[in-house]
Structure 1
Amino acid sequence: MSSTEANEPAPNTTHKHITQQEIEGLLWAAADELRVAMAEAQYASVIFPLMFWKYLSDTWDHNHDQFVEENKELPDVLSVEEAHEIEYRDYQSFEIPFIERGKVGETRASWSAVLATVTQPGLGARVRTALRAIETANPDKFSKLFGALDWTATLDSSVLTGVMQAMNRIPRMHEDNMSHDVLGGAYEYLLKRFSDGAGTRAGQFFTPREVVNLIVTILKPENFESVYDPTCGSGGMLIAAAGQLKARGGRGYSLHLYGQDSVPDTAGVARMNLFMHNLTQFQIEVGDTLKKPVFKQPDGSVAQFNVVVANPPYGMKWDPWKASESRAFGGVAPMATADWAFVQHMIASMKPAGGRAGVVLPHGVLFRGGSPAAIRQKALEEDLLEAVIGLPDKLFYSTTIPTCILLFRAPGTKIEKRRNGVLFVDASARSVKGKNRNTMTGADIEDTVAAYFSGGDPDGGRGRVPTRFVEFDEIKTNGFDLSIERYIEAETQEAADLGALVASYNVARAQRQRTEKHMLTVLAEAGIEGLDE
């Protein structure tokens, strides 16, 4: 350990039990320092790299302190190089390297070292140098992790200082002081908070967690399986898959997680998110999944996985494949919308033995004509589509239109009672209205999952979510149109609407009664009487 490093101020060493609410409050206080410099929609590009940098630095410092404490005699018997080898073999899982090595200002690329220099000019440049040094020193784990870092050149030093000082009030973020459940929860909190502020632009990296949980609960990832998201955003579906497995008593950490996203900064958010949740068996890549899928088999075809999940961008224009493309079963999706192209990619990505997929898309995929109709027909003829789940409207930041979940199974792997047909589940009435978007409660999700597993049994889904299994011949008669209202009558929805009308009437009636009572009081005080009450 160099003398320069020894003189660095120690990171926040507060050792106290911190609640989820407390760390969330401290993180938001740090993020709120940015309010004078940028809109909330841009906070993520600054806060996530800084938060993860502090987490890495606190973890490295903690492990280094343990190494020094447990090996006090080593400096007397080993060279610096030998001590370094032992530390990184037995204590550290990544490196926080030196920057400006050989200069008077030689120091580590750590949070605490740079924080000690906030009063000196060029803070943004030093932050950028430190983060890039960490990426370079750990190419297998942290390559391009922190994104473009454009903000290090444009953010005023006084603002950056305020953010870092506010974030430093958080106790040391290593696992002996703060569980990964708390850290991961804090990261998810920020994702949600930034999404609320970003509005429709948030759809690029955040899928509402109730929708994610609904999909992964149905697909049920198992120990040591692979899970793949071709449009992974912040990595929420991959994390939820591990969390759902853990909740069932499985080993969430055993999953092999894969994701691809076209936006480098968003891919970086996903990598940091996975690390914060203590999930290390992952590979997140950057690129256009439809044009250049990164994950491939030796023969050049797309790689295959046990579970495939996605919430792709809706109605995205794209450069269509050639008809010879191996993924283009049933035809090629039109240039105007890549919705069915994403489905085709996901179907090609399912393992033949037990592969399954769940994708969130707008209702247009259920009934559009032209080439989407031909692809839809092929999927039905091959008996790949297992279920269609209609979701409530206004669940998403990126769109107000109603969406649905399509569930697919690898050829020949449906259970007997689901073969040669499609299960329709109408959960469109199961939501609670909110200011920015509607939400599904835990009970809404549980009832929808129960309806799916009941398979159309009228007693399934606790009788609250309409379901119906429709055989292939009936769908064929309807021209392979999958519109939910064709197969499930709207009686339940009408009943729900009637209930809402009754509730509205009761509120209006109470308001009228209060108004009349006030009016009669005013008239009585004015000496006017004789009105019927």
Structure 2
Amino acid sequence: MSGNGSNGGRTTRDIVAKLWKLCDNLQGGGVSYKDYVNELTYLLFLKMLEETNREDLIPAPYRWRKLYEKAGEEQLLHYRRTLLELGDTTGKRGVAPIVVAIYTDAKTALNKPVDLAGLVKAIEEIDWFSAKEDGLGDLYEGLLEKTTSEKKSKAGQYFTPRPLIDCIVRLVKPQPGEVIQDPAAGTGGFLIASDTYIKAHTDNLYQLEAARAAFQRERAYVGSEFVRDTYRLCLMNLLLHGIDSMIQPDDSLEAAGEALGKAELVLTNPPFNRFPTTTNRADFSITAAARKGPMPFVEHVVRALQPGGRAAIVVPDPVLYDDDTGRRLRSWMMELCDVHTILRLPTGIFYAQGVKTNVLFLTRGRSDRGNTQAVWVYDLRANMPAFGKTRPLTTDVFKEFESAFGDDPYGKAARVDTGEQGRFRCFTREEIKARDDSLELAWLRGAVEDPEDELTEPEDIAAAILGHLKNALEEIEGLTEAIEPRGAETIEATA
């Protein structure tokens, strides 16, 4: 998050800190961090519509000023009625569809009029002039990012670190006119970063003709987010960043995922854990009977790409080395796509999910055979410190990788293999075949055997232990599935 105003975002940070501190006062009333973020979403949305002159999206009786002018029990009752009316899905209330989507099934966790009055007063007293200079989207996103540091809320599972998102977007270079998709959108980080990048290179879209600018605002971004509360936060986040695209509240591993259509660019960080249910996609073959999780999302990404389209997907380590379905998926992917770059991410970025992670950069081929000729791997994990509460991830961590990756978003810039002592190496397709198509390509060994040994914060240590336990359970479940009887399986080489 970075402010655009002359204060460099200081006002935004101050407002976020002030609003977040109010949560401490509500803890005794049973309001969790997650509930508090939802509550702020409902209230801030009303106020921000007033500040941005977009109150035409909602009927006059349910606008911010009406709520602010009431007091006591009457204010709380009016607030509850407002949530109900704005979330009315019958379409009879004159509420814009995106507003209905945000407020569908919305309920307040506030039971005391004094608690609501405190939040309304705090929001009203915000320095909105300075906040608008920084950007209202940045203000809201600051609140979302704040939740990532609160382990109690478990909200971190929905967030990809902003420095990583920005690094990926700078490398893949989203372009005006492209359909950009995220099938596991979370709070919209990849879509918003792509939009920010495009606006920065088009003078906030003013360099585009009217029809192209409208496309960017209304149709360029597509995606799904299955978790209802996260979906609500995503829509709010998109709207406050000037994006009117409606992502869907669907599971991309069901039929609705195919309905997302094709895209020139897919950016996503899907859930890392595997779920008890299996995929239900008529167009799937490799992971058709697999449990929902990262591997089916990889198949979705490959199938969602237009020929020549590019993607970056965050995946846990097992996707790179698992046998059976994992091996077939990688072989199929390397036939259809040019898997040109893998970034091995540092330890500690995704402790909430309990796995070590990577970013796959790939381009969908224009033919269905032999698209991967070589894979470049950048090891940003070996001999690196663990990241956590005491050592936050920053943009500087990725500078050398971005330089090595080069300026070509398709991974075709001139590159240098730094050898066994360096971080960037090239592996030919033949070398990968000799490894039974495993993409677990690690070579560095150094003084820092386990960065987790350097962790000092109890929360970081506990999260690391939890991560190892989750990994162990995944491996046991995978072994169990591997020894169960199953019919003959075939590899589909075309999509």
State the TM bucket, normalised to the shorter chain: 0.7 to 0.9
| Aligned-partner residue type, residue 125 of structure 2 | R
Q: Provide the residue aligned with 1:34 in structure 2.
A: 26
The residue correspondences of 1:120-269 to structure 2 (distance < 5 A) are: 121-134=73-86, 136-151=93-108, 155-172=111-128, 178-179=131-132, 181-199=134-152, 201-249=154-202, 251=204, 254=216, 256-269=220-233
Query: Does the Cα contact within 8 Å between 1:388 and 1:406 map onto a contact in 2?
Result: yes
Task: Name the CA distance, whole Å, in 2 between partners of 1:30 and 1:465.
Answer: 48
Once the two structures are superposed, residues 6-56 of structure 1 have per-residue CA deviations (whole angstroms, 9 ceiling, x without a partner) of xxxxxxxxxx99822332233324444423322324321111111111111
Between structure 1 and structure 2, the one with the greater Rg is: 1
Contact 1:397/1:437 (<8 A) preserved: no
Taking the aligned partners of 1:133 and 1:383, their CA distance within structure 2 comes to: 48
Match of 2:250 among 267, 287, 290: 287
* Alignment counterpart, residue 111 of structure 1, candidates 49, 64, 68: 64
- Of residues 375, 391, 397, the one that matches 2:329 is 375
Local SS of the residue matching 2:26: helix
1:43, 1:97 → 2: CA distance? 25
From 396, 410, 416, give the equivalent of 1:457.
Answer: 416
User: What do residues 216-248 of structure 1 show as CA deviations (whole Å, max 9, x unaligned)?
Assistant: 222210012111111111111110111223344
**Amino acid in structure 2 at the alignment position of 1:264:** R
Q: Deviations over 1:120-163 (max 9, x none)?
A: x24333113224444542333322213532225x5322212211
Q: Which runs of 5+ in 2 are unaligned?
A: 1-6, 88-92, 206-212, 407-412, 454-495
Q: Which amino acid aligns with 1:388?
A: I
Alignment of structure 1 residues 502-513 onto 2, 5 Å:
none
In structure 2, do the counterparts of structure 1 residues 203 and 28 end up closer, same or farther at CA, with 3 Å as the change threshold?
closer
- Of all paired residues, the percent bearing the same amino acid is 23
Measured in 1, the distance between the counterparts of 2:300 and 2:318 equals 18
1:407 — aligned with what?
A: 361
State the AA in 2 paired with 1:341: P
SS in 1 for 2:118: helix
AA aligned opposite 1:117: K
1:423-478: CA deviation from partner (whole Å, max 9, x where unpaired): 21111148665553754322222211222226641479xx9971112111111011
SS at 1:285's partner residue? coil
Change (3 A) 1:26 1:261: same
Structure 1 unaligned residues grouped into runs of 5+: 1-15, 61-91, 99-107, 297-301, 502-533
For residues 282 and 330 of structure 2, the distance between their equivalents in structure 1, rounded to whole angstroms, comes to: 17
For 2:47, which of 51, 54, 57 is the aligned residue? 54
2: CA distance, partners of 1:383 / 1:95: 43
Maintained 8 Å contact 1:451/1:465: no
Shift of 1:262: 0.8
Residues 498 and 303 of structure 1, relative CA distance in 2, 3 Å threshold: closer
Per the TM alignment, residue 368 of structure 1 is displaced from its structure 2 partner at its CA by 0.4
Aligned positions of 1:78-117 closer than 5 A: 94-98=56-60, 108-117=61-70
Structure-2 separation of matches of 1:214 and 1:286: 27
Partner of 1:82: none
Q: Distance in 2 between matches of 1:442 and 1:464?
A: 24
Q: Give deviations 1:165-193, integer Å, cap 9, x for gaps.
A: 122211347xxx64374312211211111
TM-score, with structure 1 as normaliser = 0.71
- Secondary structure at the aligned position of 2:340 is classed as strand
- In 1, the alpha carbon distance for the partners of 2:77 and 2:451 equals 60
**CA drift at 1:198:** 3.6
- The whole-number CA distance in structure 1 between the counterparts of 2:111 and 2:367 is 54
Q: Amino acid of the residue matched to residue 402 of structure 1?
A: K
- Structure 1 residues 263 and 465: CA distance shift in structure 2, 3 A: farther
Match of 1:275 in 2: 239
Distance 2:254 2:421 in 1: 42
Counterparts of 1:355 and 1:432, CA distance in 2: 34
Inter-CA distance 393–200: structure 2 relative to 1 (3 Å threshold) = farther
Cα RMSD for the two superposed structures:
3.3
In the superposition, relative to structure 1, how do residues 343 and 316 fare at CA in structure 2: closer, same or farther (>3 Å)? same
Aligned equivalents of 1:400, 1:472: Cα separation in 2: 30
Check conservation: 2:23, 2:36, Cα contact below 8 A.
Answer: yes
| Number of residue pairs the alignment of both structures matches | 422
Task: Pick one of 469, 473, 486 that aligns with 2:426.
Answer: 469
